Amino acid sequence: MAAVAYAAWLAIGAFGRPYNFFDMKIYHGAVVWWASGNELYDFIAPSTTLGFTYPPFAGLVMLPMSWLPVEAAGWLNALASIAALAVVLAALLRPIVDRLGWPLWFTVALATPPALAIEPSRETLGYGQVNLLLFALVMADLVGLRWRARRGTHHDTADSALARFVYGGTWAGVGIGLATAVKLTPALFIGYLVLTRQWRAAVTAIGTAIGVTLAGFALVGEESRTYFGSVLWQTERVGAADMTANQSLAGLLARLYDSIETPGLLWLAFSVLVLALGLSRAASARADGDELTAFTLVGLTTNVISPISWSHHLVWVIPAIIVLADAAVRRREASRGLPLRVTGTPPTGGVPPLRPPIWYPTLTGLRHGIGALGLWLLFLVSPIWPYEHQLPEVSHYQDGLFGALMENSLAIALIVLVAALPWRPGAEPAFYSDRLLRAAHPAARH
């Protein structure tokens, strides 16, 4: 376990960039400025053109940071983010390790350092970003949906009303609502809940997002009017679309066109296609009993179609790696039950001897295993930075087509995942058994 953690630390040193809580310094400076009686969105960080870009609710959540030194706030955020990632991994890996008979927390302890070493996690920690915390909020709703689905197929044994509320999952949707109030882009998960007719969770998410936003208007009305009236639409506040760190479809198209701006109509057309593909595949994954893959596809789709998806936003590759690895294991396990094949005819006649093809279990699932490992290695090495270019000084084709491919490699990987990430029928037994029950008893649908 210590060796894995040390290897992850070395990998961050080898493939990461210099980190000094750059974004945290902006957030911290903004809330200190705000706490001193100034307008939140008037703040500009020294020696930059960058200011606070989150909604006022996020500012209220971050306001206690003004009592701490910026370094302390950065390390506190890093520790909270690591803990959140470990808890999320425990929730995502629990069904898998239970099936395989592995110890949960030992598995989580081994999985957490490699997950922290890849680009989205190390950038989130190093820059003092909040992506892992928002990721945990959304994944909490996945857990809530699991618990609520199980409630329909298991007797409720909770001893108290509070325990029944928590383990009953009736709160599912709160996490997505809070994440949406902080960063807006998780709102696509609300669309997914509506598409899959998970009405209670959708209403809870919408109510939570609207509720905390209205609370922001009640508490800090001036800042709320400023944000929703002007700041939200000032896309230049976050940077140019073609910046290498922007690994969304918009950034990919801008760099391919060697332009600071994204070709708007082309981006819109492809975004609609990716949105339709991602949501339809997510709905299909859920219908086959794999809610984790469904959530992962929605998160990846959000990364692709958002105008700006910095490399630290791409945390949804973490569950994608888990899904690919588990798909490989499942296919290998299933291959052991394949029918035996004829291996020859005995000279005396009679029934030919049968023997299982021993190479089936070895090769079955290999492409998914290679996909999981390749995806992890891609985001570990993160080849976008050696080929970073900035217009108008340097063309994005400065290093030829190979350089352009490397500079866009993470964006390309996201699009491939939206189109081809496999789902695992029956992987979430609570959802799958409920579907089978309704199929077997049509009257249960009414």
- What HEC string does 62-86 produce? HHHHHHCCHHHHHHHHHHHHHHHHH
**Residue-wise pLDDT tens digits, 373-431:** 999 999 999 999 999 998 889 999 999 999 999 999 999 999 999 999 999 988 876 55
Cβ contacts of 79 within 8 Å, gap of 6 or more: none
Report the predicted TM-score, pTM, of the whole model to 2 decimal places.
0.89
Q: Quick one: pLDDT band at residue 169, thresholds 50, 70, 90?
A: confident
Cα 135 to Cα 43: distance, rounded to the nearest angstrom: 27
List the end-to-end C-alpha distance of the chain, in Å, as a whole number: 51
Per-residue pLDDT at 150: 76
Bridge partners for 341 per DSSP: 355
Instruction: Evaluate whether 74 touches 126 at the Cβ level (below 8 Å).
Output: no
Bridge partners for 333 per DSSP: none
Per-residue pLDDT at 46: 87
Q: Quick one: pLDDT band at residue 123, thresholds 50, 70, 90?
A: very high
Cα 422 to Cα 182: distance, rounded to the nearest angstrom: 30
Q: Quick one: pLDDT band at residue 446, thresholds 50, 70, 90?
A: very low
Residue 445 has pLDDT above 50, yes or no: no
Cα 104 to Cα 106: distance, rounded to the nearest angstrom: 6
How many CA atoms lie within 13 Å of 190's alpha carbon, on the beta-carbon side?
21
The pair of structure tokens assigned to 21 is 């809580």
Instruction: Evaluate whether 311 touches 410 at the Cβ level (below 8 Å).
Output: yes
**Alpha helix (H) residue ranges in 359-428:** 359-363, 366-381, 400-407, 409-420
The pair of structure tokens assigned to 303 is 């990364």
Match 């340097």 to its residue by tokens. 394
Residue 245 has phi, psi (to 5 degrees) of -65, -20
Match 């950034």 to its residue by tokens. 251
Q: Quick one: pLDDT band at residue 332, thresholds 50, 70, 90?
A: confident
Residue 159 has phi, psi (to 5 degrees) of -90, -25
CB atoms within 10 A of CB 238: 15
